[in-house]
C-alpha cells in the first residue's frame, strides 16, 4: 500500500494507516499494512481507529485482524472495526458522542487514534464523571465513568475469583461517594472484608450490632428463619398466618389505649393487618394467642401441632444466634423509622454509607436477612417517591438471585429482581458482584446497563457476558480471559466506549480482606496461639449452634444439622418446598380476600 503523511518519530495522530475496503452495518473493514510499519503504528485487536468519513470523524475499535487481505495488493491484512462514536466539531471545540451519524465510504482513510482524542473521549463534557483507573491503551489517560449514567440504571462487576472485584468495588464506591454526596450506599459485605475500605465515610455494622426485629420480616422470611431455612410444616404455618395479624392488631389496640391515640377501641381481629404488614407485635401476644387457640381444641393431633409450633418459636427466641431478631425487639415500640434511618443513613450530614457485615449471622438466616434488607431498600425508595437516591451493592449475587430457581430463597431473588426491574423509578440502583456470572439470573444481568468484566476463563461466564452486551461490543468479550488482576473491560452506558482499563491501585490498608485473619494466616490482635485457637472455636460454635431448646423431633431435625453457607435446603420429609410456598401464597390470598 502507499502510506502518506506519517512521521515515525512523532505521535501518529494525523498519520494515515490504511483505508476502508468494506462496510456492513456498524462494522467497517479496513485494509492495513503488514507487518506493522513501526511500534507506533501497530493496529491490533483492541486498537482504537479514527476514520475520516467526509466531514465526519468516526471512532471505532479493532475487533479482529486477518492476515489474508483477500487478494488486495495494497494491503497485507484486513481489520474488522466496530464503529462506536463520532468526534464532532462544536462552537466551543470538539466533543465525542456515542453512535455514528454517517458511515464511511470505500477508500476513506483510517488512522490510529491520538492521545488527545482519547483524552477528549474520556473527558465527557457536561457529565459528572469519576476517575476509576487508567486506560490500557495509554496509562497517562484517566479512565472515566459517567456516574449519573452508571447510577441511572444498574451495574455489575463480573470476574473469576481473586481478579480484583472487591478491590474494584472499593475504588468505584469511593469515587462515587466523592461525586455524589447526596447518594446513600448500602453494601452487603458477605465476608466482612470491607471494614477499612471507606474510612470514616462508612458506618460498619457487624452482625453483633445488627438489630432487625422479628416483626419487620415478612411472613415468608419469618417462616424461613423459624424453620432454619428448611421447608416448614404446613399446618403450623396456617396457624401462624392466622394469628400473626391478630397479634399485630393487639399491639396496635394496646398502643392506642396506652398512648390514647384513638378513643375508638380497635378490634385486633379486624385491625386491617396482613401477615406481611411491617407492623410491630410481641412474641408474648403471639404465643398467648396460639396457646389460647390450643386450649379450645379437642383433637389431640391438632393440639400436638400447636404444641410443636410453640416449642419451635420458643427454640428460636432462645437461640442466642438469633438475638438480633428478638433481643429488645419491642423496646422503644415501633422502631421502624429508627431502623431505616440507621441502616440507610437517612439523617442529614452523617456518614452516607453502611457496610453490613453478614459473616457472623447464622448462615440459615442470611437469605432471609438479605431478602428483608433488599425489600426495605426498595420499599423505602418507593414510598418516599425516590426522594433519597440509594445504591444497594450485593456481593455474591449469584447466591441470592441464582439462575437455578431451586437454589437459594425465592423471596430474596424476588426482592433483588424487583430492584433490578423497577428500582430506577424510585432512585434505587443495584450494584451486583459475582464470581460466577453464569449462575446469576440472566434477567438481573440484563437490567444492568454498565458491566465491569474482569478475567473470566469459564466459557459459560463468557457466553453470558456476550449475550449481555450490545452486538457491537460482543467481539471485545474475547479479551476477557486474558485480562490481568485489576484489569477490566467496561461495557455499557457508564463508558463513552467499551473500555479496557486497570482499576486504580489501592493502598495496602484499603484493600478488602477479612478482618479477623490476615492472608498470611496470622491472627491480627491475638498474642498467643492458644487464645487464637480459643477464639476460632468460639466463633465456630457461635455460628453453628448456641443455646438451642429442642422440644420435638421436627425441631430437633431442623436444628441438628445447620445448613452450610450457600447450600440448598434439603427436601422436606413431609411437605415439598414448592407445595409449601404455594400454600403460603394461597393463605396470603385468602387473608387478603378476608
Ligand X SMILES: Nc1ncnc2c1ncn2[C@@H]1O[C@H](COP(=O)(O)OP(=O)(O)OP(=O)(O)O)[C@@H](O)[C@H]1O
Query: Least distance from C-beta 436 to ligand X, angstroms?
Result: 10
Q: How far is CA 504 from CA 107, 164, 284, 420, 511, in A?
A: 40, 11, 54, 28, 11
Q: Which is nearer to ligand X, 443 or 505 (CB)?
A: 505
Q: Which does 506 bind (CB under 5 to 8 A by kind): Mg ion, ligand X, none?
A: ligand X
The residue to which cell 437469605 is assigned: 367
Q: Which does 485 bind (CB under 5 to 8 A by kind): Mg ion, ligand X, none?
A: ligand X
Query: Least distance from C-beta 169 to ligand X, angstroms?
Result: 8
CB-based contact 343:211 (threshold 8 Å): no
Q: Which does 503 bind (CB under 5 to 8 A by kind): Mg ion, ligand X, none?
A: ligand X
Could you tell me the sign of the dihedral formed by the alpha carbons of 173, 174, 176, 180, in that order? positive
Q: How far apart are CA 95 and CA 92, in angstroms?
A: 9
User: Under 8 Å CB-to-CB from 378, ≥6 apart: which residues?
Assistant: 415, 418, 419, 422, 423, 426, 428
Query: Least distance from C-beta 418 to Mg ion, angstroms?
Result: 25
From the list 165-173, 249-257, 422-430, 542-550, the region that binds Mg ion by CB under 5 A is 165-173
Q: Which does 486 bind (CB under 5 to 8 A by kind): ligand X, Mg ion, none?
A: ligand X
Q: How far is CA 87 from CA 91, 104, 112, 568, in A?
A: 13, 14, 14, 52
Query: Least distance from C-beta 89 to Mg ion, angstroms?
Result: 45
Angle at 71 between CA 68 and CA 73, to 5 degrees: 105
Query: Least distance from C-beta 521 to ligand X, angstroms?
Result: 14
Q: Which does 167 bind (CB under 5 to 8 A by kind): ligand X, Mg ion, none?
A: ligand X
Query: Least distance from C-beta 161 to Mg ion, angstroms?
Result: 8
Q: Which is nearer to Mg ion, 356 or 584 (CB)?
A: 356
Under the binding rule (CB under 5 A), the answer on residue 252 touching Mg ion is no
Q: Which is nearer to ligand X, 232 or 512 (CB)?
A: 512
Query: Least distance from C-beta 165 to Mg ion, angstroms?
Result: 5
Binding region for ligand X (CB under 6 A)? 159, 161-167, 171, 435, 485-486, 503, 505-506, 511-513
Q: Which is nearer to ligand X, 17 or 176 (CB)?
A: 176
Q: Which does 161 bind (CB under 5 to 8 A by kind): Mg ion, ligand X, none?
A: ligand X
Written as nine digits, the cell of 554 is 421436627
Q: Which does 262 bind (CB under 5 to 8 A by kind): Mg ion, ligand X, none?
A: none
CB-based contact 33:18 (threshold 8 Å): yes
Query: Least distance from C-beta 399 to Mg ion, angstroms?
Result: 13
Q: Which does 435 bind (CB under 5 to 8 A by kind): Mg ion, ligand X, none?
A: ligand X
Q: Which does 354 bind (CB under 5 to 8 A by kind): Mg ion, ligand X, none?
A: none
Query: Least distance from C-beta 157 to Mg ion, angstroms?
Result: 9
Q: Encode 324-338: b = buried (16+ Cβ within 10 Å), e = exposed.
A: bbbeebbeeebbeee
- Of 111, 104, 113, which Cα lies nearest the Cα of 28? 104
Q: Which does 162 bind (CB under 5 to 8 A by kind): ligand X, Mg ion, none?
A: ligand X
Q: Which is nearer to Mg ion, 49 or 157 (CB)?
A: 157
Question: Closest residue to Mg ion, Cβ-based?
Answer: 166
DSSP element (H, E) containing 499: strand 499-503
Q: Which is nearer to Mg ion, 485 or 579 (CB)?
A: 485
* CA 195 to centroid of chain Cα atoms: 18
DSSP E strands, 197-337:
202-205
Q: Which is nearer to ligand X, 165 or 418 (CB)?
A: 165
Q: Which is nearer to Mg ion, 167 or 335 (CB)?
A: 167
Query: Least distance from C-beta 285 to ligand X, angstroms?
Result: 44
Query: Least distance from C-beta 136 to ligand X, angstroms?
Result: 14
DSSP string covering 266-287: P-GGGS---TT------HHHHH
Orientation angle between helical segments 363-383 and 219-226, nearest 10 degrees? 170
Q: Give, as one character, the DSSP assignment of residue 492.
A: E
Query: Mapping DSSP to helix (H, G, I), strand (E, B) and coil, where does residue 217 land?
Result: coil
Q: Which does 243 bind (CB under 5 to 8 A by kind): ligand X, Mg ion, none?
A: none
Upstream peptide bond of 367 is cis (omega within 30 degrees of 0): no
Q: Which is nearer to ligand X, 161 or 529 (CB)?
A: 161
Q: Which does 78 bind (CB under 5 to 8 A by kind): Mg ion, ligand X, none?
A: none
CB-based contact 77:65 (threshold 8 Å): yes
Q: Which does 208 bind (CB under 5 to 8 A by kind): Mg ion, ligand X, none?
A: none
How many residues bind Mg ion (CB under 5 A)? The answer is 2
Under the binding rule (CB under 5 A), the answer on residue 166 touching Mg ion is yes
Q: How far is CA 71 from CA 76, 111, 115, 439, in A?
A: 9, 22, 33, 46
Query: Least distance from C-beta 175 to ligand X, angstroms?
Result: 12
Q: Which is nearer to ligand X, 168 or 245 (CB)?
A: 168
Q: How far is CA 281 from CA 278, 325, 334, 342, in A?
A: 10, 13, 9, 21
Q: Which is nearer to Mg ion, 187 or 309 (CB)?
A: 187
CB atoms within 10 A of CB 279: 20
Question: Closest residue to ligand X, Cβ-based?
Answer: 164
The gap between the terminal CA atoms of the chain, to the nearest Å, is 82
Q: Which is nearer to ligand X, 322 or 503 (CB)?
A: 503
Q: How far apart are CA 341 and CA 542, in angstroms?
A: 29
Query: Least distance from C-beta 197 to ligand X, angstroms?
Result: 10
- Of 239, 233, 333, which Cα lies nearest the Cα of 286? 239
Q: Which is nearer to Mg ion, 211 or 504 (CB)?
A: 504
- The phi-psi region of residue 318 (left if phi > 0; otherwise alpha if psi is between -120 and 50; otherwise beta) is alpha
Task: Write out the residues near Mg ion by the rule CB under 5 A.
Answer: 165-166
Amino acid at each position: 500500500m502507499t502510506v502518506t503523511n506519517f512521521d515515525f518519530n512523532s505521535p501518529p495522530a494525523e498519520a494515515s494507516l490504511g483505508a476502508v475496503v468494506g462496510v456492513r452495518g456498524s462494522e467497517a473493514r479496513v485494509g492495513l499494512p503488514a507487518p506493522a510499519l513501526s511500534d507506533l503504528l501497530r493496529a491490533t485487536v483492541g486498537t482504537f481507529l479514527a476514520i475520516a468519513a467526509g466531514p465526519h470523524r468516526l471512532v471505532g475499535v479493532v475487533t479482529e485482524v486477518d492476515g489474508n487481505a483477500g487478494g488486495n495488493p495494497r494491503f497485507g491484512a484486513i481489520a474488522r472495526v466496530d464503529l462506536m462514536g463520532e468526534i464532532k466539531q462544536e462552537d466551543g471545540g470538539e466533543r465525542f458522542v456515542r453512535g455514528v451519524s454517517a458511515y464511511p465510504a470505500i477508500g476513506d482513510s483510517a488512522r490510529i487514534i491520538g492521545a488527545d482524542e482519547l483524552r477528549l473521549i474520556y473527558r465527557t463534557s457536561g457529565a459528572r464523571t469519576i476517575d476509576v483507573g487508567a486506560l490500557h491503551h495509554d496509562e497517562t489517560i484517566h479512565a472515566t465513568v459517567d456516574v449519573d449514567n452508571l447510577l441511572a440504571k444498574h451495574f455489575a462487576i463480573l470476574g473469576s475469583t481473586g481478579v480484583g472485584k472487591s478491590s474494584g468495588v472499593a475504588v468505584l464506591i469511593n469515587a462515587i461517594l466523592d461525586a455524589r454526596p447526596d447518594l446513600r450506599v448500602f453494601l452487603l459485605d458477605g465476608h466482612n472484608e470491607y471494614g477499612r475500605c471507606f474510612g470514616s465515610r462508612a458506618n460498619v455494622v457487624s452482625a453483633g450490632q445488627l438489630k432487625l426485629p422479628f416483626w419487620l420480616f415478612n411472613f415468608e422470611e419469618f417462616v424461613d428463619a423459624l424453620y432454619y431455612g428448611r421447608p416448614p410444616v404446613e399446618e403450623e404455618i396456617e396457624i401462624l398466618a392466622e394469628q400473626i395479624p391478630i397479634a399485630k392488631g393487639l399491639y396496635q389496640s394496646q398502643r392506642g389505649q396506652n398512648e390514647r391515640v384513638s378513643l375508638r377501641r380497635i378490634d385486633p381481629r379486624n385491625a386491617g393487618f396482613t401477615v406481611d404488614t411491617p407492623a410491630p407485635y410481641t412474641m408474648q401476644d403471639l404465643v398467648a394467642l396460639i396457646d389460647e387457640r390450643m386450649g379450645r381444641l379437642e383433637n389431640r393431633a391438632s393440639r400436638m401441632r400447636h404444641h410443636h409450633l410453640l416449642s419451635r418459636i420458643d427454640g428460636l427466641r432462645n437461640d442466642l444466634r438469633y438475638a438480633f431478631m428478638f433481643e429488645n425487639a419491642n423496646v422503644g415500640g415501633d422502631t421502624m423509622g429508627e431502623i431505616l434511618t440507621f441502616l440507610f443513613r437517612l439523617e442529614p450530614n452523617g456518614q452516607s454509607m453502611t457496610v453490613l457485615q453478614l459473616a457472623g449471622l447464622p448462615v440459615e438466616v442470611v437469605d432471609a436477612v438479605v431478602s428483608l434488607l433488599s425489600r426495605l431498600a426498595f420499599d423505602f425508595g418507593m414510598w418516599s417517591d425516590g426522594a433519597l437516591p440509594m445504591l444497594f451493592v450485593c456481593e455474591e449475587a449469584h447466591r441470592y438471585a441464582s439462575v437455578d430457581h431451586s437454589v437459594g430463597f425465592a423471596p430474596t431473588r424476588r426482592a433483588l429482581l424487583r430492584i433490578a426491574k423497577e428500582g430506577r423509578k424510585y432512585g434505587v440502583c443495584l450494584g451486583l458482584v459475582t464470581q460466577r456470572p453464569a449462575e446469576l439470573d440472566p434477567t438481573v444481568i440484563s437490567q444492568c446497563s454498565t458491566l465491569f468484566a474482569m478475567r473470566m476463563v469459564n466459557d459459560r461466564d463468557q457466553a453470558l457476558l456476550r449475550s449481555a452486551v450490545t452486538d457491537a461490543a460482543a467481539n471485545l468479550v474475547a479479551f476477557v480471559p486474558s485480562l490481568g488482576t485489576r484489569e477490566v473491560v467496561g461495557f455499557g452506558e457508564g463508558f463513552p466506549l467499551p473500555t479496557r482499563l486497570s482499576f486504580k491501585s489501592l493502598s495496602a490498608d484499603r484493600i478488602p480482606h477479612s478482618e479477623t485473619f490476615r492472608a498470611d494466616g496470622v491472627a491480627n490482635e491475638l498474642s498467643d496461639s492458644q487464645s487464637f485457637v480459643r477464639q476460632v472455636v468460639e466463633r465456630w460454635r457461635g455460628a453453628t449452634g448456641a443455646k438451642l431448646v429442642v422440644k420435638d423431633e421436627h425441631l430437633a431435625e431442623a436444628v441438628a444439622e445447620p445448613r452450610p453457607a450457600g447450600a440448598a435446603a434439603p427436601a422436606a420429609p413431609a411437605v415439598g418446598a414448592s407445595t409449601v410456598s404455594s400454600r403460603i401464597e394461597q393463605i396470603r390470598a385468602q387473608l387478603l380476600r378476608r
